[in-house]
Amino acid sequence: MNKTVSSNQASLIFCIFTIGLKLSALPSLMYTFSGNDSYITCLIALIFDFIGTLIVISIMHRHPDLTFRDFLTRTFGKVVSTIAQIILLIYFFGKCVLVLQELHDYFIATLFEELNPLFFLIVLGLIIMYSTTKNFRCIGRVAELIFWPTLIGIIFTLIFPTEDLLPEKLLPIFEQGFHPIYTGLSRTTFAFGDYMILFPLMGHIAYDQSSKKKMLGFAASAFIFIFAFFVIFVGSFGKYSMSQTLALGELPLHNSTPATIGKLEWLTIMIWSVILLADGMVLAIAGKSEFDNIFGINDKKWTGYVFSLGVIVIALITYMQLQAIIAIATTPVFSGLSGILQTIFVIMLIISSIKISRNNKPTISPPLQPKKSKRKASC
């Protein structure tokens, strides 16, 4: 197996991908379902996500040469493996469309009141299309390049709004029991399960002794940041959180500090734009990878073009329909199915890992017993 991605690059890809899609529409959406308990709901969801991430990374580290397709094919057969990869293809495709829609809404909220969809979505779609001609190693290098500027933007995003944070807005919690938290968890499953972005990376990561700790450390840091963002968001907007439909566009502007030190909003705008665009590129490469695996295609650029054109067409058809898309994604049926599939994938990997480990376990023969002498005892 060709190891094209270092563990450091894989960690950064996962970290940036996880952060980007949880800080736009999700905070206000989760507040709609859970109210003041929304940050508690987020914490519980992130704990489940971290457990899933821990399991996936442990399995990847234990079987570094096996791809996601190898795991499922060896244990459940080719048909089940193909069905699973079709589901992943749909998942990556849907999230890629969502990224384009969120980027468009983010630019409208922060920079432009009106934005030509043909210009914006097609140009971004072409950038994403170009990214499909590359591989995860290229996007890993991009992640290494943008990580530190991104980290600076993240720090500004968290530090400046804390001036307006009022702890009393975070209270009371559990006022209506656990039901609002359960509702928030069960209706926002599509926003979680980010460990599935690691599936296309299986078998392509070069590991060393510190790889597992490094990847888990980056994952934990990303989850901690997301939880802190939710706390600051609810603490800043309180009961008005529900109306802030694009949190990462509103929160950095909801403070007075940048206005007094030279208008640093441009930095957060630039950073979050780069993060969302990087997310789209990661999803496009992952989608192309699943497309190639399903149809048994190797090193053909046209599959990436097909995937990207599909994303552009659907994004244009659903133009200005982000809230409608979110409404569909948060229906009980869709959310329930999404959560079940995320869980099933992890369970299948666990079963496959155990079975493969048992099959590869060397058989230890019992020690040879010394032969008894057949000579009769002398008188």
- Please report the DSSP string for 122-146 in residue order: HHHHHHHHHHTTS-HHHHHHHHHHH
The structure tokens listed for 340 are 């079940």
Banded pLDDT at 379 (limits 50, 70, 90)? very low
Number of H helices and number of E strands within the chain? 15, 2
C-alpha neighbours within 13 Å on the C-beta side of residue 76 = 22
Is residue 116 within 8 Å of residue 310, measured between CB atoms? no
Range of lowest pLDDT (80-94, 232-246, 252-266):
252-266
Q: Report pLDDT for 73.
A: 94
Give one word for 103, left, alpha or beta, with left for phi > 0 and alpha for psi -120 to 50. Answer: alpha
pLDDT at 55 over 90: yes
Give pairs for 368-371: CB < 8 Å, separation 24+.
none
Banded pLDDT at 111 (limits 50, 70, 90)? low
Neighbours of 93 (CB within 10 A): 20
| φ and ψ of 263, to 5 deg | 55, 80
pLDDT at 341 over 90: yes
List, for residues 209-232, the tens digit of each pLDDT value: 888 999 999 999 999 989 988 888
pLDDT at 370 over 70: no
pLDDT at 6 over 70: yes
- Omega before residue 172 within 30° of 0, cis: yes
Buried-exposed string 127-138: b where 16+ CB fall within 10 A, e elsewhere: ebbebbebbbeb
d(CA 225, CA 221): 6
- Longest Cα separation, the chain: 114
List, for residues 283-326, the tens digit of each pLDDT value: 999 999 999 888 887 767 888 889 989 988 888 888 767 778 88
Per the DSSP assignment, residues forming a β-bridge with 205 are: 5
pLDDT at 127 over 70: yes
Crossing angle of helices 211-237/26-34, nearest 10°? 60
The structure tokens listed for 198 are 């690691």
Between 359 and 164, residue with greater pLDDT: 359
Give pairs for 137-143: CB < 8 Å, separation 24+.
137/4, 137/5, 137/9, 139/13, 139/278, 139/281, 139/282, 139/285, 140/5, 140/6, 140/9, 140/10, 140/12, 140/13, 141/9, 142/278, 142/281, 143/9, 143/12, 143/13, 143/16, 143/278
Q: Taking residues 91-109, report their average pLDDT.
A: 82
Per the DSSP assignment, residues forming a β-bridge with 206 are: 6
pLDDT at 46 over 90: yes
Q: Report pLDDT for 246.
A: 65
List, for residues 246-297, the tens digit of each pLDDT value: 666 666 555 555 444 445 566 667 777 788 888 889 999 999 999 988 888 7
Task: Give the DSSP per-residue string, 213-233.
Answer: HHHHHHHHHHHHHHHHHHHHH
C-alpha neighbours within 13 Å on the C-beta side of residue 275 = 30
Q: Report pLDDT for 365.
A: 42
Between 319 and 81, residue with greater pLDDT: 81
The structure tokens listed for 42 are 């987020």
- The three-state secondary structure class of 6 is strand
Mean pLDDT across the chain = 82
Measure Cα distances from 175 to 35, 133, 165, 231 in Å: 10, 52, 21, 17
d(CA 196, CA 102): 20
Burial of 70 (0-12, 13-18, 19+ CB in 10 A): middle
For the domain made up of 5-353, give the CATH fold: Amino acid/polyamine transporter I (1.20.1740)
DSSP-assigned letter for residue 365: P
**What is the bridge-based pairing of β-strands 205-206 and 5-6?**
parallel
Per the DSSP assignment, residues forming a β-bridge with 5 are: 205
Q: Taking residues 183-209, report their average pLDDT.
A: 91
List, for residues 147-188, the tens digit of each pLDDT value: 887 777 777 666 666 666 777 778 778 888 889 999 999 999
